[in-house]
């Protein structure tokens, strides 16, 4: 299989390449795209011999040229470079592990070119759900979820008639501060928040796990991936992160997907699906387990409600919520604002933003507006 990997130096990108080296069979990487981590991208390019490599801008392209004079691949940069990697590198499947709004257009471009997309870029569906859905209606290409919860639901729903499905349930670990007294949340430091109990992930998504913004985004993603209305998709707290997703059927039966929390498992399935390949990761030991579940407390997780409200508002509202969150989470990580200001800042951005019907331009404009507002909040 020929793969293009967008976002190769991030957490999911690096794990995707690890998985590839462990998989048997004929795998070829046709394109690697990354932003500013040119040194690691260079190493990856030496190892996987892509035809095309894409970096953030002309400066990074020069940096790569100094590192690798006369490279055996084309060097592209910027949004146009990403589109070329996605649709014109000869790939049969694109793994989109880009972080941010920049991931939307490559997803659309690949789908329009009839190429399957293994999707780890949240923004494609969070800010561009309607656009991606339109693209899917006009192509044979499929979206394959990479995220653990969506991979779980995708596996549970496979081939099941829509009228049998009553409800989708996604689990949330509750993040690093889930047991903190509410009045202490204001004083949580980046180091406190980055100690995620169950998953190893990038910094922003770990902050988004502590605010549950990530979970609200995941409900939105599930809506577009599976065509189930938001009112029938719920999140439930589950501190052990062993149950990843559940499907409640029309007779009250519930199917659950269970497995150890390791991103390499859903990444591997996104590459090999519909085939399943052996993996010698640790196994669930039922005799040692106590599983717990609980409701989401809106006082502890106010941002969860704000994002879902944006989802109901529709149009560009989620693009504004997402951009505000990205800026606020980064500012929290830099020690500029307290943890609790993330939720307050998202609420403020949504109060000020007037949602427009979704188009790529309108979505990017809402993104800019909320970004500027959140930078000053």
Residue from 109, 147, 221, 325 that binds Mg ion (CB under 5 A)?
A: 147
The count of chain residues that interact with Mg ion, using the rule CB under 5 A, is 2
Compare residues 116 and 149 and give the one whose CB is closer to Mg ion. 149
Minimum distance of Mg ion from residue 42's CB (angstroms)? 30
| Closest CB to Mg ion: residue number | 147
- Pairwise CA distance, residues 205 & 97, whole Å: 13
Which residues are CB-neighbours of 56 under 8 A, at least 6 positions away? 34, 35, 36, 77, 78
SS3 243: strand
Compare residues 30 and 173 and give the one whose CB is closer to Mg ion. 173
Minimum distance of Mg ion from residue 154's CB (angstroms)? 13
- Which one of the spans 105-113, 141-149, 157-165, 243-251 is the region binding Mg ion (CB under 5 A)? 141-149
Q: Which two three-digit tokens encode residue 351? A: 């109060």
Minimum distance of Mg ion from residue 241's CB (angstroms)? 9
DSSP secondary structure of 87-141: HSS--SEEEE---SGGGHHHHHHHHHTT-EEEE--HHHHHTTHHHHHHHHHT-S-
DSSP label at residue 281:
P
| 123 scored as a contact of Mg ion (CB under 5 A) | no
Compare residues 123 and 149 and give the one whose CB is closer to Mg ion. 149
- Pairwise CA distance, residues 308 & 311, whole Å: 5
Peptide bond connecting 274 to the previous residue in cis, omega within 30 degrees of 0: yes
Minimum distance of Mg ion from residue 287's CB (angstroms)? 27
Minimum distance of Mg ion from residue 157's CB (angstroms)? 17
- Which one of the spans 65-73, 148-156, 342-350, 365-373 is the region binding Mg ion (CB under 5 A)? 148-156
Residue from 149, 325, 326, 367 that binds Mg ion (CB under 5 A)?
A: 149
- Which one of the spans 137-145, 147-155, 221-229, 290-298 is the region binding Mg ion (CB under 5 A)? 147-155
Minimum distance of Mg ion from residue 202's CB (angstroms)? 12
- Which one of the spans 18-26, 70-78, 146-154, 184-192 is the region binding Mg ion (CB under 5 A)? 146-154
Specify burial of residue 120 (Cβ count, 10 A radius: 0-12, 13-18, 19+). Answer: buried
* Run of H or E including 335: none
Tally Cβ neighbours within 10 Å of residue 18. 13
Which parts of this chain interact with Mg ion (CB under 5 A)? Answer: 147, 149
């Amino acid at each position: 299989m020929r793969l293009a990997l967008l976002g190769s130096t991030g957490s999911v990108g690096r794990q995707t390449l690890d998985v590839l080296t462990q998989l048997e069979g004929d795998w070829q990487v046709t394109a690697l795209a990354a932003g500013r981590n040119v040194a690691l991208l260079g190493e990856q390019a030496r190892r996987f011999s892509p035809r095309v490599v894409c970096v953030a801008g002309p400066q990074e392209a020069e940096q790569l040229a100094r590192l690798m004079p006369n490279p055996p691949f084309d060097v592209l940069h910027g949004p146009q470079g990403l589109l070329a990697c996605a649709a014109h590198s000869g790939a049969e499947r694109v793994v989109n592990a880009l972080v941010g709004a920049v991931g939307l257009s490559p997803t659309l471009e690949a789908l329009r070119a009839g190429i399957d997309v293994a999707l780890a870029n949240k923004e494609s569906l969070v800010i561009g759900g309607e656009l991606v859905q339109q693209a899917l209606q006009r192509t044979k290409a499929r979206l394959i979820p990479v995220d653990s919860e969506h991979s779980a639901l995708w596996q549970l729903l496979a081939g099941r008639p829509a009228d049998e499905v009553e409800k989708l349930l996604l689990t949330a670990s509750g993040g690093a501060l889930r047991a903190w007294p509410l009045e202490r949340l204001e004083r949580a430091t980046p180091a406190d928040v980055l100690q995620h109990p169950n998953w190893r992930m990038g910094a922003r998504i770990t902050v988004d796990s502590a605010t549950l913004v990530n979970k609200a985004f995941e409900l939105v993603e599930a809506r577009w991936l599976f065509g189930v209305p938001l009112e029938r998709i719920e999140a439930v707290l589950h501190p052990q992160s062993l149950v990843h997703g559940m499907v409640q059927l029309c007779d009250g039966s519930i199917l659950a997907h269970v497995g150890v929390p390791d991103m390499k498992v859903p990444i591997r399935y996104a590459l090999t699906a519909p085939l399943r390949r052996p993996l010698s990761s640790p196994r669930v030991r039922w005799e040692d387990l106590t599983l717990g579940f609980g409701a989401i407390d809106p006082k502890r997780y106010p941002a969860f409600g704000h994002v879902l409200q944006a989802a109901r508002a529709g149009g560009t509202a989620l693009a504004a919520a997402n951009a505000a969150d990205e800026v606020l989470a980064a500012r929290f990580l830099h020690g500029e604002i307290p943890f609790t200001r993330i939720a307050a800042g998202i609420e403020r951005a949504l109060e000020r933003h007037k949602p427009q019907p979704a188009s790529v331009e309108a979505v990017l404009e809402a993104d800019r507006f909320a970004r500027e507002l959140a930078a000053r909040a």
